[in-house]
A and B are shown apart, each in its own frame.
Chain A
Amino acid sequence: MKRRTFLGGAVAAAVVGQGSRALAQQPAIKIGMSMPQTGGLAGGGKASLLGIEIWRDDINAKGGLLGRKVELVVYDDKSSASETPAIYSKLVDVDKVDLLFAPYATVPTAPIMPFVKQRGLLLMGNFSFQVNSKVGHDMWFNNAPWGPADSWASSFIDLAQKAGGKNMALLAADQEFAQNLALTARDVAKKRNLPVVFDQSYPPNTVEFASIIRALKATKPDIVYVASYPPDSAGILRAVNEIGIGDDVKVFGGGMVGLQFAAVMGNLGSLLNGVVNYNTWLPEPSMYHAGTKEFFEVYTKRAVEAKVDPLGYYLAPYGYATGQMIEAAVNATKSLDQKGLAKYLRENEHKTIVGPIAFSADGEWKESATVQAQFRGVVDKDIEQFRKPAKQVILYPDKLKTGTLISPFEAARK
């Protein structure tokens, strides 16, 4: 080794050593959140948390934020709305966290909205749906590709009407998120003079869906819009397979939570074929951005150790993207001032692994990037098949489209 190279290496090592010592000496930046790690939302919550943890590890490997290490303070909210108000009070008043991320999903997030508004705190949302519509908090940024409230239902109904749908059946879980979806679906149907021939909400813990599907089938709908939660989605699809849904149905699905998770997809296998459902990320060519491939390489390895969703398409990249947005805002403003960060987040477009993100005044994505995709050629007992393209063909939005709808539903199931 030449003397100059040796000296250069020694100086570099000393600088890195200083840097990591400085990183260790300064107090960490604490980001607090609750996350469903048990209960019905735990499957999503754990995958989302892993996405955030991968970002934390990446940012710390790069030297942290403002030269300080990033630390996550996480509590299990048990998927329950009653747990989160106390957890977020503790995070702010006892743990003294610097920044707050919201838990995954609407139900645990909704009760903390008045608290963060009252305290004037920045809150990065995590796949909530319309929790800020009545609260009107101007420091809320929901990292979910829903866009305007009615875009979700209207994209599904658009597809269905183009396929010849003349009336609609609506089946929704009696939960905040599903009810919000159902509400927008009713509004869209009303605006388009689309008769709603069946409109029912079922309670949580419904064991058997055969009776409900029989009642739905008897109304002979053309379009069946389902807004369900993970434990129910599998039950509904099984009942549809066993009882039948009728030859009139052009399009079935829309807002079924659970069909994005590997365990549920693996369990249902070929029963998924034909269902048109929303999703947020799929391994289709149109959905890759800078860093997406690398993220999933890391995620796939760590998901096995963490015993979380092996695919992680639905939530994990968005968890990482939330971290990327905070990283950009802190680096640009060079502070942790919540108002300054909120101003930056509101006024700029952010490059992330799920694509560019810009927020509208209500804290939702300016433009919807929620995809409606149809399951095709799915076989039983094979999770690996979902890593390949064309198993979920994107029908909407046009800019991400990778195929066209097969209709009616019974034909698409074959």
Chain B
Amino acid sequence: MFSMDLLLGAVVLGVLLGCFYAAVSVGLSVSFGLLDVPHVAHPAFLVLASYGVYQLNESYDIDPLLAGLIITPLFFLFGLLAYRVYYETFERRGSDAGVRGIAFFFGIAFIIEVLIIMQFGVDQRSVTATYIGKSWRFGEFRIPIRQLVAFAVALGLTVLLALYLSKTFMGRAIRAVAQDEHALRLMGANPVRIKQFAFGIATAVLGIAGALLIIVAPVEPTLDRAYIGRTFCVVVMAGLGSISGTLIAAIILGVAESIVLTMFGASWAPAISFAMLLGVLAVRPQGLLGR
């Protein structure tokens, strides 16, 4: 059944959903897109962050977004450590680091999953906040406030990260290491330290993204498996390393998914997302805004 109201609603909800997808993917855009690290544990880090937010919300009644901000520095340190271990054990050792790195990060993802199960059990967990479970009404149309919050925070996070990478000295250094690591070394800079710092940034943003994840829906230990396809799809469609491209690709994906869910039947949603990815790659192999 077609109606303009339904279509308009689908587009609005799709944009909100897309911004949320951008927030959960933007860290991967740095770690995988810029640094070429095969970070398949990215969604597991994300779920771990959401459990950190859950713990703070449950134990101290801290607002989920504030809890996300609190764990962000911890995730930065966690990112520094994770990259150092990866570098020392895989990247430093040779040309097949990528393939072996995938195994390394898969291992990390499984360990995180098991640790979460041991600590929190297998049940779903969710948080409470004044903006969860309510909606804003515009005539007959209602928008969940949690999605508006996710939209605003995700948009802010993505814009801030894009500005950081383009305007600051360290941000430009990260882009430089992504473009030509050897040239950077010849100029006396240490690319490994820059990459380690960048990986820390990519992991730190997951503090906020994890908060958004548990604000949007309850989480459970194996939820990372649901996001692995989506996040890599967004980053590849965007063009590797492009932060603004990540936002655009995520919004396109969110709108497409929402329109399909509303107008054509929910079964088609995953197929449409990946069909779009293939379509974009066929026309622009480097992605929408790829380098």
Contacts and interface: CB of A to CB of B under 8 A. Distances in A.
Interface of A: 37-40, 42-43, 46, 174, 200-208, 210-212, 214-215, 218-219, 230-231, 234-235, 238-239, 241-244, 258, 261-264, 267, 271, 307-309, 380-381
Interface size class of B (residues with CB under 8 A): 35 or more
Contacts of B266: 174, 200-203, 206, 212
Contact of B124 (A201, A218, A230): A230
12 contacts: A202-B267, A203-B267, A206-B266, A208-B217, A211-B14, A214-B13, A230-B124, A234-B124, A239-B144, A258-B124, A267-B126, A381-B128
Contact of A208 (B5, B9, B13, B222): B13
A212 B268 CA distance: 12
Interface stretch (B62-70, B115-123, B173-181): B115-123
Given A242-B133, A381-B128, A215 B261 contact: yes
Given A234-B126, A242-B133, A309-B123, A205 B270 contact: yes
A39 B6 contact: no
Nearest to B217: A235
Given A38-B221, A207-B216, A211-B261, 7 more contacts: A201-B267, A208-B258, A218-B6, A219-B1, A238-B133, A238-B217, A244-B142
A174 B147 CA distance: 25
Q: Which of A201, A215, A235, A309 has the most CB of B within 10 A?
A: A215
B282 interface: no
Contacts of A262: 123
Nearest to A218: B6
B250 interface: no
Contacts, number: 125
A211 B9 CA distance: 8
Nearest to A46: B122
B125 interface: yes
Contact of A38 (B145, B222, B226, B262): B222
B123 A207 contact: no
Contact of A242 (B123, B142, B267, B270): B142
B218 interface: yes
Nearest to B144: A242
A231 B113 CA distance: 16
Nearest to B137: A244
Interface of B: 1, 3, 5-6, 9-10, 13-14, 17, 113, 117, 121-126, 128, 133-135, 142, 144-147, 216-218, 220-223, 225-226, 257-258, 261-263, 265-267, 269-270
Q: Which of A210, A262, A263 has the most CB of B within 10 A?
A: A210
B252 to A, nearest CB: 16
Contacts of B144: 210, 238-239, 242-243
B216 A206 contact: no
B261 A202 contact: yes
Contacts of A218: 1, 3, 5-6
Nearest to B259: A211
A182 to B, nearest CB: 12
Contacts of B10: 211, 214
Contacts of A214: 6, 9-10, 13, 262
A332 B167 CA distance: 81
B54 to A, nearest CB: 11
Contacts of A43: 121-124
A298 to B, nearest CB: 19
A238 B121 CA distance: 23
